[in-house]
Amino acid sequence: MSNPTSEEPGVNTREITLTIHREGVTVERGPTADNDTEQNGEDEQNSSCSSCDSPNESEIEELVRNLNQEHGSFSWVTLGIRTGFHFACYPTQMTQILMQSGYEPFPPRRSVTLLGRPCLLLPSAVQYLKYIYEVDGIQGCFRGTFPRLMHQMLYTHIYHAGRRILGRRYIRSVVAKARLRDAEERQLGNQGALSRRQSQNDDSETSESSSPGFWDHFREVFHDLSAKLATIVVTYPIHVVVIRSIAKFVGREYLIRPNVLGEIKAIYSDFGILGFYRGIIPKMLGETCQTLIVGALAFFVSNQAPGIEVRSLLNLSFSVLVSAWTYQFNVVSTTMAVNGSCLMVGQPPIHPIRYDNWVHCWRDLSKRNILTRGSSIMCRYYTGPTRLVNGMKEPIDVTFGPNYLGGRLPEIFKR
């Protein structure tokens, strides 16, 4: 799809056109007519340049939309749909954050795997959510919804705004380079310019055949990663508020601090201003690894999968697969957000160690083999440290509870 911009000062727009290809914006140069090449007068060059105008904002925005079409564009309708989706899935996200923080209300029970091997089975996400409902009702299943939805809306808006800013800068740089090349060609003369264009076309054809779209794809991945990291830095304090609002279920601290402002004051009281950024480094590292790996996989299949819809579907599939590997970064980030705080979930015995930094947290969780806790939704097998008692494995060095049902198991967990 091509979309010519308006004429640039010093650029012969009869020869230069901005074109949206599969992977980005390139500059096309078409041949000029013979009668144009014969007219080398100074007056004609000045008159053609004086009639050129800079591209207006509407044309630049159109190019930016075409450039970012694989990543979607911001619209209030899309934002509303995503917000509704996150609201509907919030109870599941709440249980996963509690699992990541280390809270298990019930000890595992003995069971067998699909292959018949003995194992220790933890409550599934549905059983976990059933327990929250029996303790706090429907309100407890949606505690922390307001900051979570606010975080989602800000994340979406800031991410697309960053993509637009980077897209504008890239398009203007392409136009500036085309203007500079055109000025050099006028100095060399038309004959030299024609031979130079021919050599440039031959070089571009050779480079495209050897490495199609590599630098354009690299630029897309870099823009995507830059927008995501900037968005995480801006919205991460709200993410910490969401985690701690959910974690208040463990010690019933929501009875003391029922609103968001109370939790903001508690974060500042615990760690100061840096408390709003506890765990941000593993969060950014996980996002960086996922974006780069997905970008590399998408590049290798981009030539065999033409079409924006197919590539978007493949990127989504790759993101789901790679997120399983980068999930450990999310566990460390969530753990650091609550560790050492005034919340019960951040104190012994649930968190027996106060971590100095996220590397210390990673090593301890990895040593105890609980770095992937909460990764499974249905079949949750206990993978922590165990010991043999009468030939059966029993968990050790892991605290279960508190159980606010008086030690009684929910009926759904007995099945």
Q: Which of 123-137, 188-202, 236-250 has the lowest mean pLDDT?
A: 188-202
Cα distance between residue 112 and residue 118, in whole Å: 4
pLDDT of amino acid 115: 85
Q: How confident is the model at residue 390 (pLDDT cuts 50, 70, 90)?
A: confident
Whole-number mean pLDDT of the chain?
78
Cα radius of gyration (the chain): 29
Q: What was the pLDDT predicted at 393?
A: 84
Residue 345: per-residue pLDDT: 94
| pLDDT of res. 87 | 92
Q: What is the pLDDT of residues 236-271, one digit of tens each?
A: 999 999 999 999 999 999 888 888 999 999 999 999
The domains of the chain, with CATH numbers, are: 76-160+216-414 (1.50.40.10)
Q: Considering the chain, what percentage of its residues have pLDDT values greater than 70?
A: 71
**Is the model's pLDDT at 312 over the cut of 90?**
no
The predicted model scores a pTM of 0.77
Classify the phi-psi angles of 121: left when phi > 0, otherwise alpha if psi is within -120 to 50, otherwise beta: beta
Express each pLDDT in 349-376 by its tens digit. Answer: 999 999 999 999 999 999 999 999 999 8
Per-residue pLDDT tens for 145-174?
Answer: 999 999 999 999 999 888 888 877 777 777
* pLDDT score recorded for residue 379: 87
Alpha carbon 192 to its chain's center: 48
DSSP state of 112: E
Q: Say which DSSP state 326 is in.
A: T
